[in-house]
Structure 1
Amino acid sequence: MNLEYTVTQSDNNNAPVMLVTGSAKRIGAAIVKAAHRQGYSVIIHCHQSEQEAQTLAAQLNHTRSHSAAVIVADLAVVEEPAALTAFVEEVINTFGQLDAVVHNASRFYPSPLGSIDHIQWNELFLTNAKAPLLLSQAFLPYLKKQQGCIISLLDIHAHDKPFLNYTVYNMAKAAHRMMVQSLALEMAPAVRVNGVAPGVNVLPEPDGDQALDNEQQQRIVRSIPMQRIGQPDEIAHSVLYLVDAKYVTGEIIAVDGGRSLTLAGSLV
């Protein structure tokens, strides 16, 4: 288990600060960019995408100096108290405060019945449930000081519409959804906790093990009332709304083009 991390540090510029886990690319990067446009200093967390994270930070710092930093860390830091404490300290020391945490990092792959093992369980629950909970707990004192918030990226399949052959992922995301609602009660009134549940807002990487062929993509589009794949920016818009919505907590916004209204549960 790799618990090491590195940080590229920037100076405190007194702007509100947002940490987005798993934010080197795709939806996470869209959230970082949207927050940066609204004046946030942003901490881009990544694990295996450091090059993309550093490129994104450089672009943002070119736009506004000392406004973006990169932390490279395996979220397995939550498994070791000392490593977790060091990670939290590095996050806080990067800009001197923390106003918003967005739990975006996630592992996603099938676990068909008959092949489920401890490795799948531990990996999928770590990123999709355990790390969000333990990080939220660890950051609570700093978020309380700023009257801040937590936003979790969930999934429309985390509530009553499970993916076929994705039992472990479904269970982990359902746990994360319940975390949002539970922490909204426990952290109120100082810290608000909300969630955004995407539908199909990005397609799997074309060269990855979850790649979809053209016919599969077309079947998905036909299943969406809005008749198109969503965009990462549309998720980012909802995240930034919840960051600014001072009287909203415990809510989960579906951003799925209406797909959850018609979805039976399979991936395609």
Structure 2
Amino acid sequence: MTDHNTAPVILVTGSAKRIGAAIVKAAHCQNYRVIIHCHNSQSEAQKLSDELNQLRPHSAKVLLADLSVINTKDRLDAFVKAIITSFGQLDVLIHNASRFYPTPINSIDNEQWDELFLTNAKAPLMLSQALLPYLQAQQGCIISLLDIHAHDKPFKGYSIYNMAKAAQRMMVQSLAVELAPVVRVNGVAPGVNILPETNSDQALDPGLQNSIVDSIPLQRIGKPEDIAHSVLYLIQASYVTGQIIDVDGGRSLTLAGGKY
């Protein structure tokens, strides 16, 4: 068999751009075959896949899916089949896809709850369960992208997001115990490693951005590559499970409760 047919396979949800794309690129550099999942960013995903396949043929594939597929058995089964059919195996599952926006009290509705809990808690759990037999076959691992605010330091005005990420954090710890010793489960908690896009519903004003930088001991905003570096470490750290690495420039040490 040729080398590219035996390389391990990684699936990163929501990986067409930003942190997800950085993880895909870092894994690809380490000779992984990569599955780039996206929902609304198909053109970016395809561009990334084309670039990687030029570097190493047959090493990247794109999967288009709304993560609500997990709510229907037939659709979930079809998604799992598409994942495994891509390269015939799965070694690493990265939960990166996430929705993030404010839900101040007196404005909260069921739709926001469903959307934020779907991407940040329910889909990671149900996908982990559905893909578990394949991860067990490879003695693989699962890594969740969390948030430093998911543990005792909530964003003010983001109650649902905070709750959903806290649930995902507990999923990491629960599955680490339940899936050991065959499958390891860990998390990476970014601080301010990439700012929301300026034209999105998540955008931050410049004054707030400056105050955030001032609050970070390392005095700079992190990069997506910083997250990817920690993810790659956890993939290779064979004696580490149930751990959450804060990659935040020290921000969680100085963060005042209730402050963004």
Q: Normalising to structure 2: TM-score of the pair?
A: 0.97
1:130 pairs, out of 98, 122, 142, with 122
Alignment of 1:1-268 (within 5 A): 13-266=5-258, 268=260
Q: CA deviation at 1:86?
A: 0.8
Identity of aligned residues (%): 71
Counterparts of 2:154 and 2:205 in 1: how far apart (Å)?
22
Q: Give the gaps of 5 or more residues in structure 1.
A: 1-11
Counterparts of 2:131 and 2:34 in 1: how far apart (Å)?
16
> How many positions carry a matched residue from both structures?
257
CA contact (8 A) 1:157 1:265 kept: no
Q: CA deviation at 1:210?
A: 2.1
Measured against aligned partners, the alpha-carbon deviations of 1:206-260 in whole angstroms (never above 9, x if no partner) come to 1112222222211110000000000000000000000000000000000000000
Q: CA deviation at 1:146?
A: 0.2
SS in 1 for 2:61: strand
Counterparts of 2:109 and 2:211 in 1: how far apart (Å)?
31
Give 1:109's aligned amino acid: Y
CA contact (8 A) 1:98 1:143 kept: yes
SS in 2 for 1:260: helix
Counterparts of 1:216 and 1:125 in 2: how far apart (Å)?
26
Q: Give the gaps of 5 or more residues in structure 2.
A: none
Give 1:120's aligned amino acid: Q
Q: Normalising to structure 1: TM-score of the pair?
A: 0.95
SS in 2 for 1:61: helix
Q: CA deviation at 1:264?
A: 1.6
SS in 2 for 1:44: strand
Counterparts of 2:192 and 2:133 in 1: how far apart (Å)?
35
Counterparts of 2:202 and 2:11 in 1: how far apart (Å)?
27
SS in 2 for 1:150: strand
Q: CA deviation at 1:94?
A: 0.4
SS in 1 for 2:58: coil
SS in 2 for 1:13: helix
